[in-house]
Amino acid sequence: MIEAIKTFFTQTFPPQLAVFFCSMIPIIELRGAIPLGCVLGLPFWQSFLISIVGNLIPAPFILLFIHKIIEWLKRFKLTRKMALWAERRAEVKSEKRENLSFLGLALFVAIPLPGTGAWTGSLVANFLGIRFRKALLAVIVGVLVAGVVVTCITYGVAGIF
């Protein structure tokens, strides 16, 4: 299975681009991109840096435009269900984090589990009305922490130092 994934990505993209694009995908984010970089033979520092950059690119756009995008998607029958699902998911996550502070948002993004990360953290921050700068900085800190954790788990602490 790992060999099939490696073959697919090496024949489709250069390894660095595969890791970059993978880190931008919701839910997968850098939690999947860093292990992909390892499988594709990238050194830990390349997987880490490329994944961080790719994972952070969507965050400011989500923070600035997600409400408008969701409202626009609700207008079309084909995308209405998806938009309502995303809105409900963000509201449920927001209700659990009403007293979300900078540290709380950063820790939420840093937890390397599905359903957390830059995408969900940005959505939650937006729905809670957290100021753009504060939210973006918390997402950046969380992504950096998650990147360190996932890199250490993937490559092994001994392999890094």
pLDDT digits (tens, 9 = 90+) for 61-111: 999 998 888 888 888 888 899 888 877 877 766 655 555 688 989 999 999
> In terms of residue numbers, what domain contains 121?
58-145
Same domain, 67 and 101: yes
Same domain, 68 and 94: yes
Residues ≥6 apart with Cβ < 8 Å to 146: 30, 31, 109, 110, 111, 112, 117
Same domain, 68 and 139: yes
Residues ≥6 apart with Cβ < 8 Å to 38: 44, 47, 154, 155
Q: Specify the pLDDT at position 99.
A: 54
CA 62 → CA 65, 68, 105, 156, distances in Å?
A: 5, 10, 15, 32
Same domain, 134 and 65: yes
Q: What is the pTM of this model?
A: 0.81
Q: Specify the pLDDT at position 71.
A: 87
Same domain, 88 and 134: yes
Q: Specify the pLDDT at position 160.
A: 60
124-156 residue pLDDT tens: 888 888 899 999 999 999 999 999 999 999 998
Query: How many domains, the chain?
Result: 2
Same domain, 62 and 141: yes
CB 151 within 8 A of CB 44: yes
Q: How far is the first Cα of the chain from the last one, in angstroms, to the nearest whole number? A: 29
What is the CB neighbour count within 10 angstroms for residue 141? 17
- Three-class secondary structure of residue 98 per DSSP: coil
Same domain, 136 and 103: yes
Same domain, 65 and 140: yes
Same domain, 28 and 82: no
Same domain, 74 and 115: yes
